[in-house]
Chains A and B, each alone.
Chain A
Amino acid sequence: MAFISCKEVTEAINNGYGQTSVFMKTSLPTNAQQWFTLWRQAGNPPDAGAVPSTGTVCDSSTLGAMQIQDAGSGKKLHAYSIGAAALNWGGVVILYDRLWHAGTLPFQTSSTLITGVTAPNRYTSGIGNCLFLETASGQGSGTYPITVSISYTNEIGTPGRIATFEITSAFAANRVIFGLLQSPDRGVQSIQSYSCSSVPNSGTFNIVMYNQSMFNYIGYPAAYYLERDLIYQVAHLPIVQNGACLSGLFWSAEASPSFVWGTIKMVQG
């Protein structure tokens, strides 16, 4: 089933098929105008998450994921609004579905195999799947920029494709680095290995897989909650897969917001 009209969406909400998931995160990273992960930040809900050292699928039961209930049989869950605000400063939050991660990886110049599970269990065709890095612990001095190369299988099943990420200087912990798939790939089915152009004195990182179709921006002014309707305000109505591991990324206009919070509202039909 799927919604075929706006009226159906409204009726589903009125008939009790809606749900709201709240996030509140504290102890935020302090650098302005950089992307940081909210995955490992303290909060309730959800609690701070962890990243295992071997490749692992993430789902809604993973510690750190927002609390959501799957759609009933024959129904699909959709996000129909997202909202966010932060103490003191304006900024941007991204709510995304964290498909897979592997963590606390050391910088190594030799090719290092990713062990454990190497593919997600949602968006398994790979179309739209992308990667970002999280600095698990801040890097020390070294030869920058450092290029992290990740070998992956693309959306048509071709292995040995290379995604690249550039760490331009010693980044603080929890920084997010977006990278680039090999042209003209449109997604990632699985991960094989990684290598780095040089090794800093210290630091580790996480690899995270997400899907572009569940990657929702919400911008908000200082100390002001702003909610974006995903039905009428912007025609998005993104599908939230059963078992989705919803989490956030965070961008602040200024340093030191101590608290960010928001909601995602979903409806099944």
Chain B
Amino acid sequence: MFTSYDSIIAALSAGYGQDLLYNKVTITSVAANWYTLWYTNGSPGAGTAPSGVANSAVCDSSTTGAMSYGNANGGRQMSLLSFGGGGQTLNNLILYDRLWHCGGLPFVTSTQTFTGATAPTRYTNGVGNGLFIEITTASGGGGNTLSVSYTNQDGVPGRTASVVVTASSPINRVQFLTLESGDTGIQSVQSYSCANTPAGAFTLVMYNQSMFNILPYPAGGYTERDMVLQVAQLPTLPDSSCLALMMFASTTSTGYVFGKVKIAEG
């Protein structure tokens, strides 16, 4: 691990840095809402999510849609040094580690039990793990409470995360779930159910808050956030992190976006 700024410079000079480039085409959005870029064409290519509760799965750096990189060598630890981005439209871009997902989920009132993988392989103690949904088929009218049963960071099962899914949510819309009061994370998920049954489908995604980095950039410009001195964060990347992007949209389309992620091991 890095013990000083000099140790970062030494690692970079010795060739222990990696640059992960990305670009994504524009998608339709509504201002002041979150949108996933997981399914968006570009580089890395569009990802998918396994469909149905029987196919819930862990995500890693080899998952289609993830940014590809090499793990840290033995005895070393990978850290995020900077996150840069730019594009056609002023936006806030988010880089996160996609831990687990399950797609093609309908809005149904009966309890649906996940029978594929139910726990992530990174951040396994659950602390800081959260959930969001991605709308993959536009939802119907009427607000709809989605409830997800999970085991919290202390190993207590039967806890409930929830969100009121916005009526008529468009495709790619992201909404975050609220954990049950007092909880600080999720070790595993068990099932979900909804208050009613509008049309539409969604993907449930688990992420970790410690690897959730926000970058604002101006229209037609590029900016880069240093994670060492500009904002003292230096988040650690567990091996095989599934690095992905989402966006807080400012207008009716996200615009073409490009940039790079700088990581290094020390």
Question: Which residues does A use to contact B, with CB under 8 Å?
Answer: 2-7, 9, 32-33, 76, 78, 90-92, 127-128, 130, 166, 178-181, 183-186, 212-213, 215, 217-221, 228, 231-239, 251-254, 269
Contact = CB atoms under 8 A, between A and B. Distances in A.
Interface residues of B, number: 49
Contacts of B74: none
B259 interface: yes
Nearest to B69: A186
Contacts, number: 134
Given A33-B256, A215-B260, A217-B222, A2 B70 contact: no
Contact of B64 (A127, A183, A232): A183
B18 A213 contact: yes
Interface in B44-94: 44-45, 61-62, 64, 66, 68-70, 81-82, 84, 86, 88
B57 to A, nearest CB: 15
B43 A92 contact: no
B13 interface: yes
B88 A33 contact: yes
A92 B9 contact: no
B43 A4 contact: no
A180 B230 CA distance: 32
A117 B20 CA distance: 27
Interface in B231-262: 256, 258-260, 262
Contacts of A91: 220-221
A6 B66 CA distance: 33
Nearest to B219: A253
Contacts of B223: 219
A122 to B, nearest CB: 13
Contacts of B23: 178
B226 A235 contact: yes
26 contacts: A4-B10, A5-B6, A90-B221, A92-B221, A92-B222, A178-B258, A183-B45, A184-B66, A184-B68, A186-B68, A213-B18, A217-B224, A217-B259, A217-B260, A218-B222, A219-B222, A221-B221, A233-B230, A234-B84, A235-B8, A235-B226, A236-B81, A236-B262, A238-B17, A252-B220, A253-B220
A235 B86 contact: no
The 7 closest A-B pairs by CB, nearest first: A253-B220, A219-B222, A2-B13, A5-B6, A3-B13, A4-B10, A92-B222
Interface string B172-193: 0000000000000000000000
Given A3-B10, A219-B86, A234-B81, A213 B17 contact: yes
A184 B9 contact: no
